[in-house]
A and B are shown apart, each in its own frame.
Chain A
Amino acid sequence: MASFDSVNYSIRPSKSVQRGIVFDGLRALCASMNLHDTVYIGFGSIWFTDFLMAHKVLGIDEMISIEASPVGYKRAEFNKVYRSISVLEGRSDERLPEIAAQVEYQARPWIVWLDYDGALDEQKVEEMRWLLLNAPPNSIVLFTFSATQNAYGARPAQRPGRVSDILGAVVPDDLTREDCSKENLPQTLATLTMDFLSSVVADNARPGGFIRSFQIPYFDSVGMVTVGGVLPGLGAAPAARAIVAEQSWKGIVDEMIEAPPMTLKEVATLQAELPFAGELTRDRVQELGFDLLEHQIRSFQRYYKYLPSFAEIVA
């Protein structure tokens, strides 16, 4: 099911956090690498949320959205938010090589975010490989996919083997069922997919290498993963490496982001406690008159700046 048939994914709270982290990171990278004339490529769907941010936050004008379904294409054309967005109809594994073949796109950095609806599979991995080997120097690539466990085998015993089928030799032989449980699979897939991306670039001796920059497991009713990094030209590599190595770099997330859907009243109440140097406790939340799980409180405290506020307008 295409995302435009399900829900406006711009209003999923963990997704908002993930998007906020990604665009903060992209902004820092673009500045440190001094990127100009960048092209943004993604799956804008009919909401174009990431395209809005690419234009507003990164100042990118030229953007390309790829839409596989004919209906989706028509709706995307209708809904596109800027005149500088081109919508291409077709599958990304066909359209991306066509973009790469056009001279005007060959010497410019790309920021490509392939925000897939489904689980990781052989086709997506092949597309990742193609992009890693063909994106112009100084490009930044990001991939998002589902990490819901049943998509990797109906039975737990099948999942480690399935992950190995998809990602190949980077998967350790001793990957366990536990590594592929509902709780652990997003982080497992995030780490192993990053290993895969690094390996493709290193094994093919791409000049400049690959800088692991984004590793974000998050949960919005299903587990999701965003991974990505920089494919620097030789000149920009040290600056990009330096920015990602900084203590303040937020793109590598060690704990699954699970921002709870909250009411405006709950958000306002909790937000009034922040910023706070210590850890907000569950006891404190209960004192304030409601309740959340520990990891939800941690997520809120870490990422509240990225959380949107939602209100339903009854007209």
Chain B
Amino acid sequence: MIPVEKSKARANPTKAFFVRMITRDITLEDCIFDLIDNSVDGAWERAGGRPMSLNNDTDLSAYKISIEIDQNRFLIKDNCGGISLDDAVNYAFTFGRRDDADTENFSIGVYGIGMKRAVFKLGSSIDITSTYVGDDGLSSFKVPVNVSDWLEAGNSSWDFDIDEADDLDEPGVCIEVQDLSEATAQSFASPRFVQDLRRAIARDYALHLHRGLVIDVQGKPIKGWSIEMRQGGDFSPMRESFKEKIDGEDVFIELLAGMEALPPDDSDPEGDWDENQNQSGWYVVCNGRIVLAADKTSLTGWGTDNWPQWHPQYSGFMGIIIFSSRRADLLPLTTTKRSVDATSPLYRRYRSHMREPSKTWIAYTNARKQSEREQVAEKESKTKAVPIFEVSARSEVVLPQVSAKKRTPEANVSYSVPKPKLLRLATALGNIRMTYKDVGLKSFEYAYDDLVGEE
């Protein structure tokens, strides 16, 4: 017989879980992105636009997000409208989205955890200030959070105090975090971290930056990555749109795929080939934010279901699938917004659409490998890069037919030399950055001309 007082197993959350545990599942960079996402959502809401059909021409140039980072402090400030006092009291600081919260149109924030998790990860002395346009003009408040005090107060009260605050320059939010965690302070001391952050923002917010949104880091605005595909001659990328109804809500899907760069001459590049540097692969976009970039894994189909694993030979291919909905919870994004939820039925359905352009490209690169190099080069030289916004609707990728070459037996030469010597030879050949392969070919041609002469 179970005593009455032991008939319930306690299942209450603890503050420490939110401060110390869920912060481990997210990178510092993604925390900063969570804060940027909130600002971006505010900008779109104010602009009245609808992210994110590529054809949408909403102007976001009035909105600016500024980030300052140093070893002692993190600051993000925007002019994207701010949080109203009512929203702060009822929604913005709850852990997890409340059931009665309004759906924010086409937002990227969905789980109601991003801002809290981000600031807890960053440090332990937090000031969140908001200035917004209320019924009586500008109003402001501040939510100061001292994490140690909040933890010490125990699990009976989870609320944060709301204080009076001076107005910010414009309606918006300013989040300042001090007493940075040791790991955060170390990362912020790394100029490489800051450069990589700039690169990641340029890529993952490219669609917003394209519409004029300004994001600056350390006072320097970031230029968005210009996402382009090559077309012309016998090459045309595909672009197709779909619409789904889920829970009575529309979900828009746009699929683009084609050639983003000329493929490598060598089907098996080695040495100075850096796979991480190339932009090829699949991109998944949810409500305007790139959540998965240049993916070459099974998450986007490579190596699954009669779809070969990624190989450097396939470099040059780019596919983009864009999901948009008024309700972000219908989209296949994870809580960290750094990947896709591979179990999402919506995503699984559309992954099959991603297969065809991938396979078309694979077939082209296989044929290309067997073809006359000059023939292929001539066809590929007729393409030019165009922004993805200018790609015309077409249901399949168009690629040229290339014929197999008359084969002269070939010999592959492979050898290793000390890298400093190779760099010196590349320098002597006129380009210190010449690829290893070209240094080898030019050396061969030089020796051939010298020792063999005319064919």
- B335 on the A face (CB < 8 A): no
Chain A interface size, under 10 / 10 to 19 / 20 to 34 / 35 or more: 20 to 34
Contacts of B265 in A (CB 8 A): none
Q: Which chain B residues in 197-224 approach chain A with CB under 8 Å?
A: 198-199, 223
Contacts of A152 in B (CB 8 A): 432
A195–B193 Cα gap in the complex (Å)?
10
Quick check: A169 and B192 within 8 Å, CB to CB?
Answer: yes
A135–B186 Cα gap in the complex (Å)?
19
Identify A169's interface contact among B195, B223, B420, CB under 8 A: B195
Quick check: B192 and A161 within 8 Å, CB to CB?
Answer: no
Quick check: A202 and B187 within 8 Å, CB to CB?
Answer: yes
Quick check: A174 and B223 within 8 Å, CB to CB?
Answer: yes
Identify A202's interface contact among B189, B419, B423, CB under 8 A: B189
Min distance, Cβ B228 to any Cβ of chain A, angstroms: 16
Min distance, Cβ B220 to any Cβ of chain A, angstroms: 9
Contacts of A161 in B (CB 8 A): 433
Quick check: A154 and B192 within 8 Å, CB to CB?
Answer: no
- Contact digits for A43-57, partner B, Cβ 8 Å, 1 yes 0 no: 000000000000000
Quick check: B191 and A195 within 8 Å, CB to CB?
Answer: yes
- A123 on the B face (CB < 8 A): yes
Quick check: B186 and A202 within 8 Å, CB to CB?
Answer: yes
Q: A154-B430, A158-B432 are in contact. Are A170 and B189 (CB under 8 A)?
A: no
- B427 on the A face (CB < 8 A): yes
Q: Which chain B residues in 34-61 approach chain A with CB under 8 Å?
A: none
Contacts of B191 in A (CB 8 A): 170, 195-196, 198-199
- A255 on the B face (CB < 8 A): no
Quick check: A169 and B433 within 8 Å, CB to CB?
Answer: no
Quick check: A154 and B419 within 8 Å, CB to CB?
Answer: no
Min distance, Cβ B218 to any Cβ of chain A, angstroms: 11
Contacts of B183 in A (CB 8 A): 205
Quick check: A162 and B192 within 8 Å, CB to CB?
Answer: no
Contacts of B198 in A (CB 8 A): 172
Quick check: A165 and B430 within 8 Å, CB to CB?
Answer: no
Q: A158-B432, A195-B191 are in contact. Are A169 and B196 (CB under 8 A)?
A: yes
Contacts of B195 in A (CB 8 A): 169-172, 195
A280–B423 Cα gap in the complex (Å)?
46
Contacts of B196 in A (CB 8 A): 169
Quick check: A153 and B433 within 8 Å, CB to CB?
Answer: yes
Contacts of A203 in B (CB 8 A): 186-187, 190, 192-193
- B431 on the A face (CB < 8 A): yes
**Minimal Cβ-Cβ distance residue in A for B190:** A202
Identify A173's interface contact among B187, B188, B193, B199, CB under 8 A: B199
- A265 on the B face (CB < 8 A): no
Q: Summarize A's interface: helix, strand, loop or mixed.
A: helix
Quick check: B423 and A121 within 8 Å, CB to CB?
Answer: yes
A202–B195 Cα gap in the complex (Å)?
14
Quick check: B193 and A154 within 8 Å, CB to CB?
Answer: no
Q: A158-B431, A174-B223 are in contact. Are A199 and B190 (CB under 8 A)?
A: yes
Min distance, Cβ B156 to any Cβ of chain A, angstroms: 37
Min distance, Cβ B180 to any Cβ of chain A, angstroms: 13
A121–B420 Cα gap in the complex (Å)?
9
**Minimal Cβ-Cβ distance residue in A for B428:** A154
Contacts of A158 in B (CB 8 A): 431-433
Quick check: B186 and A209 within 8 Å, CB to CB?
Answer: yes
Q: Which chain B residues in 165-195 approach chain A with CB under 8 Å?
A: 183, 186-193, 195
A155–B196 Cα gap in the complex (Å)?
28
Identify A154's interface contact among B188, B189, B423, B432, CB under 8 A: B432
- Contact digits for A185-223, partner B, Cβ 8 Å, 1 yes 0 no: 000000000011011011101000110000000000000
Min distance, Cβ A173 to any Cβ of chain B, angstroms: 7
Q: Which chain B residues in 424-439 approach chain A with CB under 8 Å?
A: 427, 430-433
Min distance, Cβ A154 to any Cβ of chain B, angstroms: 6
Min distance, Cβ A175 to any Cβ of chain B, angstroms: 11
Quick check: A198 and B433 within 8 Å, CB to CB?
Answer: no
- A97 on the B face (CB < 8 A): no
A196–B192 Cα gap in the complex (Å)?
7
Contacts of B431 in A (CB 8 A): 153-155, 158
Q: Which chain A residues in 215-238 approach chain B with CB under 8 Å?
A: none
Min distance, Cβ A262 to any Cβ of chain B, angstroms: 35
Quick check: A205 and B420 within 8 Å, CB to CB?
Answer: no
**Minimal Cβ-Cβ distance residue in B for A204:** B186
Q: A123-B420, A161-B433, A173-B199 are in contact. Are A205 and B186 (CB under 8 A)?
A: yes
- A168 on the B face (CB < 8 A): yes
Q: A153-B433, A198-B189 are in contact. Are A122 and B419 (CB under 8 A)?
A: yes
A152–B432 Cα gap in the complex (Å)?
7
Contacts of A171 in B (CB 8 A): 195
A252–B51 Cα gap in the complex (Å)?
47
Min distance, Cβ B40 to any Cβ of chain A, angstroms: 22
Min distance, Cβ B328 to any Cβ of chain A, angstroms: 31
A169–B419 Cα gap in the complex (Å)?
20
A165–B272 Cα gap in the complex (Å)?
10
Contacts of B193 in A (CB 8 A): 199, 202-203
A169–B194 Cα gap in the complex (Å)?
10
A121–B426 Cα gap in the complex (Å)?
14
Min distance, Cβ A111 to any Cβ of chain B, angstroms: 23
Contacts of B432 in A (CB 8 A): 152-154, 158, 162
Which one of B198, B419, B427 has the greatest number of beta carbons of chain A within 10 Å? B427
A205–B433 Cα gap in the complex (Å)?
32
Q: Which chain A residues in 120-138 approach chain B with CB under 8 Å?
A: 121-123
A195–B189 Cα gap in the complex (Å)?
9
- Contact digits for B368-393, partner A, Cβ 8 Å, 1 yes 0 no: 00000000000000000000000000
Min distance, Cβ A116 to any Cβ of chain B, angstroms: 13
Contacts of A210 in B (CB 8 A): 189
Contacts of A205 in B (CB 8 A): 183, 186
**Minimal Cβ-Cβ distance residue in B for A173:** B199
Give me 4 other A-B pairs in contact (C-beta within 8 A), A169-B196, A195-B191, A199-B190 excluded. A121-B423, A170-B195, A202-B188, A205-B183
Give the top 10 A-B pairs by smallest Cβ distance, nearest first: A202-B190, A195-B191, A199-B192, A202-B189, A199-B190, A170-B192, A169-B192, A202-B186, A170-B191, A153-B432
Please, could you name 15 A-B residue pairs with CB atoms under 8 Å apart, sorted by A?
A: A122-B419, A153-B432, A154-B427, A155-B430, A161-B433, A169-B192, A169-B196, A170-B192, A170-B195, A195-B195, A196-B191, A199-B192, A202-B188, A202-B192, A202-B193
**B interface residue numbers (CB < 8 A to A):** 183, 186-193, 195-196, 198-199, 223, 419-420, 423, 427, 430-433
